[in-house]
């Protein structure tokens, strides 16, 4: 017979205290029958490179292409065979064996708004219906929590919100720049001496008879605002000052770095989805200098922030999925202004964490980075992949305002098995 002392630490229920061996074995047998141990639902950090990051200068380097294609920025070899990334992405290059990379994402929406809708919702834009983004669909049925279930840092791009779902599925936008010394999320703290005011408000609101649906929605937000104000843990989750200086420096004292750090704090505290929006990737002019000058250089900030995020989540529970994406790639051939224009026919997406295979690379583009050369996939497929990795029901029906059911995952989308764990 097995020695229970050897088993207990593995299954880790603390039920061994004060129970007989028989009870313990019955318990273990029952646990073995459960399809999956109960644990916290998987969470998402979506890093949105707003404007359309150039795939050639980030994750799909073409060192052997002509200079009019590869541009002025060199690429570097990575531990993965045949994968070249921007030279400045040294940290990420070293971490690629822990991530999954999709290089053959391809679609046909070359406008920012249409491309954003497609990537964020998995569906082509419709003239009559704005679909909900993935994070909104994740949190639509959650109870009113003190800590918002969906947070956008610092704000959500167009189509990153609730779409046709009720406003309660939308993001809580923290606003401001998390890298500023005086950054704080406004309105989380009750002003001094406001107890009496809020007490009277609660008394006034408590009366009155039947409430219309709209009034009940308003009441829900009032309750949540009060709960957020009352719970010190919420303020703590949003308070970057609680991070040691060394950690803040590791993420980088810039907008993207501190946004990613805030995202990590929030998912650690129980937020289901964080959308980090990094603006300024629409490089029509002089892309080489736009990516490598400035404070901090765009690529350095990306490398530093994502490397720190990947390291921290590695130490943590592994229940967090990180997805780095934007609305499209950029033209492989440099334009006369030394920039790159919109290019939806090829783009790269970086994935890491929960449900994602480590070191997987899906697809290649042709020698010029213009088209997928193998394993072409669509934003719908990416959406289905994220849904699968997050362990959400792909068949769940979302209700449009006129009552029509819409499947969460587009009907023609297939999860990309190659990048799934």
| Binding track over 243-282 against other proteins, x by CB under 8 A | ----------------------------------------
Residues that contact other proteins, how many (by CB under 8 A): 52
Residue 109: both structure tokens together: 């929406």
Q: Please state, in angstroms and as integers, the Cα–Cα distance from residue 141 to each residue in 60, 185, 398, following that order.
A: 38, 25, 10
Question: Which member of 64, 180, 194, 233 binds other proteins (CB under 8 A)?
Answer: 194
Residue 155 or 243 with smaller CB distance to other proteins: 155
How many other CB atoms are found less than 10 A from the CB of residue 6?
8
* Position 225 contacts other proteins (CB under 8 A): yes
Q: Considering only 67-75, 88-96, 224-232, 365-373, which stretch makes contact with other proteins by CB under 8 A?
A: 224-232
Residue 400: both structure tokens together: 């449009």
Contact predicate 41/320, CB 8 Å: no
Compute the least distance from the CB of residue 201 to other proteins, in Å. 4
DSSP designation for 15: G
Residue 275 or 308 with smaller CB distance to other proteins: 275
Q: What gap in Å lies between CA 95 and CA 359, rounded to an integer?
A: 9
* Position 167 contacts other proteins (CB under 8 A): yes
* Position 303 contacts other proteins (CB under 8 A): no
How many other CB atoms are found less than 10 A from the CB of residue 344?
22
Per residue, the 3-state secondary structure of 185-207, as one string, reads CCCCCCCCCCHHHHHHHHHHHHC
Q: What gap in Å lies between CA 342 and CA 326, rounded to an integer?
A: 11
For helices 213-230 and 195-206, the axis angle rounded to 10 degrees is 150
DSSP designation for 392: -
For helices 21-33 and 4-11, the axis angle rounded to 10 degrees is 40
| Binding track over 136-165 against other proteins, x by CB under 8 A | ------------x-----------------
Question: Which member of 64, 158, 219, 236 binds other proteins (CB under 8 A)?
Answer: 219
Question: Which member of 81, 212, 241, 336 binds other proteins (CB under 8 A)?
Answer: 212
Residue 110 or 297 with smaller CB distance to other proteins: 110
Compute the least distance from the CB of residue 256 to other proteins, in Å. 22
Residue 210: both structure tokens together: 């039947």
Binding site for other proteins (CB under 8 A): 110-111, 126-128, 148, 167-168, 170-173, 175, 186-191, 194, 196-201, 203-205, 207-212, 214-215, 217-219, 221-222, 224-226, 228-229, 401-402, 407, 411-412
């Amino acid at each position: 017979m097995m020695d229970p002392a050897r088993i207990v630490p593995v299954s880790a229920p603390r039920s061994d205290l004060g129970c007989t061996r028989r009870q313990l074995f019955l318990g273990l047998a029952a646990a073995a029958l459960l399809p999956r141990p109960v644990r916290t639902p998987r969470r998402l950090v979506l890093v949105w490179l707003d404007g359309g990051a150039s795939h050639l200068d980030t994750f799909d380097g073409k060192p052997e292409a002509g200079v009019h294609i590869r541009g002025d920025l060199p690429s570097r070899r990575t531990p993965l065979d045949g994968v070249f990334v921007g030279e400045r992405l040294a940290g990420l290059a070293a971490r690629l064996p822990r991530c999954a990379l999709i290089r053959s994402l391809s679609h046909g929406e070359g406008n920012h708004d249409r491309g954003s809708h497609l990537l964020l919702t998995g569906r082509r834009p419709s003239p009559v219906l704005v679909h909900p983004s993935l994070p909104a669909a994740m949190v639509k049925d959650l109870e009113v929590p003190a800590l918002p279930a969906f947070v956008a840092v610092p704000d959500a791009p167009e189509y990153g919100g609730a779409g046709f779902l009720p406003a309660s599925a939308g993001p809580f936008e923290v606003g401001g720049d998390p890298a500023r010394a005086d950054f704080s999320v406004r309105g989380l703290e009750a002003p001094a001496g406001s107890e009496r005011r809020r007490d009277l408000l609660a008394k006034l609101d408590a009366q009155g008879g039947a409430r219309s649906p709209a009034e009940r929605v308003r009441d829900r937000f009032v309750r949540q605002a009060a709960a957020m104000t009352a719970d010190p843990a919420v303020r703590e989750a949003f308070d970057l000052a609680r991070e040691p200086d060394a950690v803040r420096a590791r993420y980088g004292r810039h907008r993207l770095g501190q946004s990613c750090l805030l995202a990590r704090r929030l998912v650690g505290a129980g937020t289901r989805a964080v959308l980090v929006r990094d603006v300024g990737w629409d490089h029509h002019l002089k892309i080489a200098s736009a990516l490598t000058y400035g404070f901090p250089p765009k690529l350095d900030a990306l490398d530093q922030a994502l490397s720190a995020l990947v390291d921290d989540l590695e130490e943590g529970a592994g229940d967090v999925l990180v997805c780095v994406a934007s609305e499209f790639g950029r033209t492989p051939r440099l334009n006369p202004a030394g920039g790159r224009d919109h290019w939806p026919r090829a783009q790269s997406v970086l994935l890491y964490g929960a449900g994602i295979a480590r070191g997987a690379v899906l697809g290649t583009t042709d020698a010029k980075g213009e088209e997928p050369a193998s394993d072409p996939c669509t934003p719908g497929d990416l959406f289905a992949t994220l849904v699968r990795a997050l362990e959400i029901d792909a068949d769940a029906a979302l209700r449009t305002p006129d009552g029509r059911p819409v499947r969460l995952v587009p009907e023609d989308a297939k999860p990309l098995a190659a990048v799934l764990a």
